Structure 1
Amino acid sequence: MSGTLHGKRPKVAIIGLASCFGCQLQITNMEPHLLSLLDQIELVHWQLASSDPLPEDFDIAVVEGAVTTKEALETMRRVRRRASVVIALGACAVTAGIPGIAAPEFDDHLQTVYGTQVPQAAGNVISPVPISQVVPVDWEVRCCPIDPADFMAALHRFIVGSNKLPSTATLCGECKRNERGCFYGRGQLCMGLVTRAGCGARCPNLGRACNGCAGLSPQANVAAARRMAQDAGIGEARFNTALQLFNSVELQAGA
């Protein structure tokens, strides 16, 4: 759907579901570019900045957070009907992220937290899912939190058009291009073996192992990664626990 808005100044709605709102806060960290961006769009709704209801008319919906209630599910269906473009913002929207940890054995988790009666304020809770499992998504801005530059690029994709394809390789390739040593050689767990590339391996560049916040790469060999963790003395069980941090919903579906 690249370039579908034909150069007009699009109306943008930024919507928050189940998340920490950290990715929306990242947008405010774009100080050098924020005013320039606001000149290119008409910001008609931003849940972080105003409690006004979602308007009827908008072109681009930027959605942060996982779908965890029936109310959120209906909100996404309504948003998809209105918007020409839906952008998933951050790990919670893309993979269900941290809320998605509750997806396996959801009913048991629900009872552990709330007992036999879920508070009315929690809404009609459902097992967490990414927004792509509810409605079609046109573009994903990955990671936790997002890189503001990736958010800018996503909006420009639909304002002026782009034929750039999303990354599909694993993060290990980016580490090699950055000439970083492998954490596994030091007996340290790293999820770059199976995580989708595209962030430039920022955490490894800072000396921190990847935690997998960009989600699973479609080229990932999870079984081989488990064996490598075992051979490195880290253990398959520890690898599996780390893998679930941002990928529980996908793993539950059989990845």
Structure 2
Amino acid sequence: MTDRRARAQARQDVHDPDGVRLQKVLAGAGFGSRRACEGLIADGRVSVDGVQVSELGVRVDPQRAVIHVNGLRVQLDDSVVTLALHKPAGVYSSMSDENGRPDLSQFVADRTERLFHVGRLDAETTGLMLLTNDGELAHRLTHPSFEVPKTYVAQVEGKVARGLGHQLKQGTELEDGPVRVDEFTVIETTPQASVVEVVLHEGRNHIVRRLLAEVGHPVTHLSRTSIGPIRLGHLKVGRTRVIEGRELGRLMSSVGL
């Protein structure tokens, strides 16, 4: 098949004559002016439903087409929202706590979407949580098969031995089975206490606290600083921010969307 025929076949596969021009869709999604988006298309950096598109006449249905730019998914549905939340201590990972305890709903009371949380943090653990109304994204972020890494910073009791990281990467047996960390870094250590960073993709309850207690370093403070490519950064405690654009694209692409 010649290049011309291949391009024509690709255009036929993804072109929706009743749709919106692809460059207009991309411009509306924040990828620059229409002229800049035409450049992205002409350079072969855009795909629609898995097909690379390089022709400027292609039209798509924004509600149905799966579009990627530079390999990152573009979210075109304005009704879908994903938020990052810096959860304070003393708040339970629920949108409506049945016992009337402080829950996550207080931080999104001004939003009209029906949001649910992705994963959990125990009440005393602070840090990053994701709230979304995108059911497929939430499912993939929490399903073990996608192995989304999560990063925690923990203050623990005692001085951490030099070889502990290697030990944790090899695996530690807990009462509900073994766990292996992906990365372990000692940030600071003294004879009395240490600060460590732990990266793992496990999602079992209290997994970081139980793991560090098992190796002789009970946690005195714990915070989650990232979920996949999303980082807590300088987000203030109790505040939220919308995850959108390229950041959202990286998150979606990290779980195959």
Q: Does TM, normalized by the shorter one, top 0.5?
A: no
| Higher gyration radius (CA) | 2
TM-score normalised per structure 1: 0.29
TM-score normalised per structure 2: 0.29
Between Structure 1 and Structure 2, the one with more strand by share is 2
